[in-house]
Amino acid sequence: MTSAPTQNPLFTFGEHPRFEAITPEAVREAIPALLEQAKAGFSALEESVEPTWASLFDRRRRVLEPLGYAWGITGHLMGVRNSDELRAAYEELQPTVVAFFTSLGQSERMYRALEDLRNGDGWGSLDATRQRLVEKELMDMRLSGIGLAGKERERFNEIQQQLAELATGFSNAVLDSRKAFSLLLTDAADVEGLPATLLHMTAASAAAKGHEGATPEAGPWRITLDYPVAGPFLQHCRKADLREKVYRAMVSVASEGDLDNRGRIQSILALRKERAGLLGFTSHAEISVSTKMAERVDAVDQLTEDLRSAAFPRAEAEYEELVAFAREQSGDADLELRHWDGPFWSERMREARYALSDEELRPYFPFPKVLEGLFSVTERLFGVRVVAADGEVEVWHPDVRFFRIQSAEGAEIANFYLDPYSRPEDKRGGAWMNDLMGRETLEDGSLQVPTAVLVCNQTPPAGARPSLMSHGEVETLFHEFGHGLQHMLTTVEVPEAAGINSVEWDAVELPSQFMENWTYHEATVMGFAAHYESGEPLPKELFDKLVAAKNYRSATAMLRQLFFGALDMELHHRFQPGEAESLEEAKQRVVDRMSVVPPLPEDRFECSFAHIFAGGYSAGYYSYKWAEVLSADAFGAFEEAGLGDEAALAATGARFRDTVLAQGGSRHPMEVFRDFRGREPSTEALLRHTGLA
């Protein structure tokens, strides 16, 4: 096997990527070369494979890692530095890469060797982690079509290819559709009531699009569908007709013209169902949950119904309160609350009830101070240090920062990149964590420490002002860092189970949602919340209002998440694509059970539901709520220890680190949770935390 030339930045597996040198041309050169190298290496492995751990896992990993690393970086750049040229290169190469990785799961020789290992005399000599991974690998290969032959396998592989292409097309259509919308406001009357943060951001956006001299005071102001813009705009814009324009654009993203994703959705659902049939399942959802903590669709349905029955009556009452408030405040006793009025009046009622608004809090949440606070609570709970290392590695955008995590003694444990701000022109929406490199002992005996990539889409700086974060954006940052901690603080020595690897998908949100709780913890928040200009700490009364407002309309928020999860399961388990029923009829069944206010007839939010159509959450969106039960119960252990007792928090944090964060996918998540909590999880803490107990 020949080694590839090192001048191409994608040939440097095991090193931090030279992002500035990664061009579409570099992708076109590197991926085919690495693919051929991986094919040759895997063929040689198949020829000599033995039913041993070293042969089936260690050798295979060394063969596949360089290609996986380079292709993973390429996919990462598609999300954070998208361009027409990169898209073209990615879409050109994707079919051959997908075909190769599909073929790995259909290697008869590897499967037989795994079965021989599972059933042989050496099975008992493997530790529990390795036995778990062998069982998982056998299951993964069954779900990759190893049991199929002839035309069935050929069709299965065609489906895999088509689904990969459809997912890329879906994601690109969402990005392009959001980019295509903008609303330029030139009349100061149109922006009355908009917060200063939003005025700065929208004026900067207008200036970037050629309106030189745009200022927050005089405009023009450019409204986009980027959530840090559209969300506050709907909350604060006083003109209903302008809110309507933005709202209708938001709920119809990627649902019209050349960017219409409805055809892709039908194709994705039909192909997933056909693939399930080939594998002997009745639905894609059955495949999905078979590899998760839930294990059965009815277990997901039961959790959904338990939470729905608690939330729905409260959500109805919350809506009635909102309508009554809007009518009283507007002086219109017959006011009909339209969909684009909800965020506006909801924010007014929150201000009236708690004398608090997001915009009042923003000046106290400048990004640099929030980051300090996040690192401080991490250090207090888990006994590590986070050290800035900007400039030590190349990054893909000037906004990106680089950090190292060290033990209390100063040894390097892990490192991470942080890309905090929204860039709608080339960065997809949402927030996520990617694992760039995992914990692994290399062939020379050295330890490769984990590297994470944390991506958010928070309010960017405007002029000399730092990024002033909403509390929701603070929660998101803590959330993604929780994912990163599970990847970075792992102590598992087996790479396939280190960090988030092999963690059941519906348990993977536990650390992330757990970290969100600290954004309401007084010592934590008061430790970082300070006015960006004066340095004055957040007034205690504002913090108290923040906590008091935590469960404001919590049933409505709960029902919204349950709706997304229920629609996901409906489409992937009960809906029969291509038959008499339409997608809209299937969606209506969920609306009838889950919605206090039915969506607009033209609401096609599913056309931008990238989590399930272009991400890893298909028939798995319920995982957020499943893991929220776990995370609330886990935080309950800290409450019981005493949130004001630093020594008790540190002791409980050490136990959380040694179980949930350290053990990764080496054990079943229920076993890990029991080790931390001393029992199985309960919904009590979640219902209590959300005010629904």
Catalytic (active-site) positions:
480
Rounded CA separation 693/690 (Å): 8
Residue with tokens 């915009």: 359
SS3 434: strand
CA-closest candidate to residue 689, choices 521, 480, 509, 505: 521
* Contact of 110 with 56, CB cutoff 8 Å: yes
* DSSP category for residue 429: S
* Contact of 411 with 384, CB cutoff 8 Å: no
Count of residues making up the chain: 693
- Please, which residues have CB within 8 angstroms of residue 50's CB and are 6 or more apart in sequence? 56, 113
SS3 21: helix
CA-closest candidate to residue 340, choices 429, 430, 238: 238
Rounded CA separation 120/656 (Å): 36
* Contact of 379 with 385, CB cutoff 8 Å: yes
| 226 phi/psi in degrees, rounded to 5 | -60, 130
Give the gyration radius of the chain's Cα atoms. Answer: 25
CA-closest candidate to residue 322, choices 358, 359, 294, 347: 347
User: How many C-beta neighbours within 10 Å does residue 602 have?
Assistant: 10
Rounded CA separation 220/211 (Å): 7
* Contact of 504 with 669, CB cutoff 8 Å: yes
